[in-house]
Amino acid sequence: MGTEPVIETVNTCIVDIPMKRPHVMSFGAPTEVNFVMVRVQTRGGIVGWGEAATFQGPTWSEESAETIQVVIDRYLAPLLKGRNALLYNPLMEELEQRFRGNPFAKAAVEMALLDVAGRYLGQPLHVLLGGAFRMKLDLSWSLASGSIDTDIAEARHMMTRGHRIFKIKMGAGPVEKDVAKLALLRRELGPEVGLRADVNQGWDRRSALRALRELEESRPDFLEQPLPKWDLAGLSELRHKSAIPLMADESLSDAHSALDIVREEAADILSYKLTKLGGLARALAVHRLAAGAGLGAYIGCMIETSLGSAAYLHFGALLPRLDYGCELFGPLLLAGDIAAKPVTYEDGRVLVPEGPGLGIEVDEAQVEKYRRR
Ligand code: MG
Q: Encode pLDDT of 209-233 as tens digits.
A: 999 999 999 999 999 999 999 999 9
207 Cβ neighbours under 8 A, 6+ residues apart: 175
CA of 300 to the centre of ligand 1 (A): 7
Positions marked active-site:
169, 327
CA distance 249 to 200: 8
CA distance 115 to 314: 11
| Mean of all residue pLDDT scores within the chain | 96
CA of 199 to the centre of ligand 1 (A): 7
The answer to whether residues 152 and 188 touch, using CB atoms and an 8 Å cutoff, is yes
As a whole number of angstroms, the longest Cα–Cα distance in the chain is 63
CA of 69 to the centre of ligand 1 (A): 24
Distance of CA 102 to the CA centre of its chain: 16
Nearest to 274 by CA among 307, 315, 331, 305: 315
179-193 pLDDT per residue, tens: 999 999 999 999 999
186 Cβ neighbours under 8 A, 6+ residues apart: 195, 218, 219
CA of 341 to the centre of ligand 1 (A): 27
CA of 225 to the centre of ligand 1 (A): 7
CA distance 41 to 38: 10
Interval 52-78 mean pLDDT: 97
pLDDT band at 2 (very low <50, low <70, confident <90, very high): low
Burial, 240: exposed, middle or buried (Cβ in 10 Å; 0-12, 13-18, 19+)? Answer: exposed
CA distance 373 to 366: 14
What backbone phi and psi angles, to 5 degrees, belong to 41?
-120, 140
CA distance 279 to 317: 15
- pTM for the model stands at 0.96
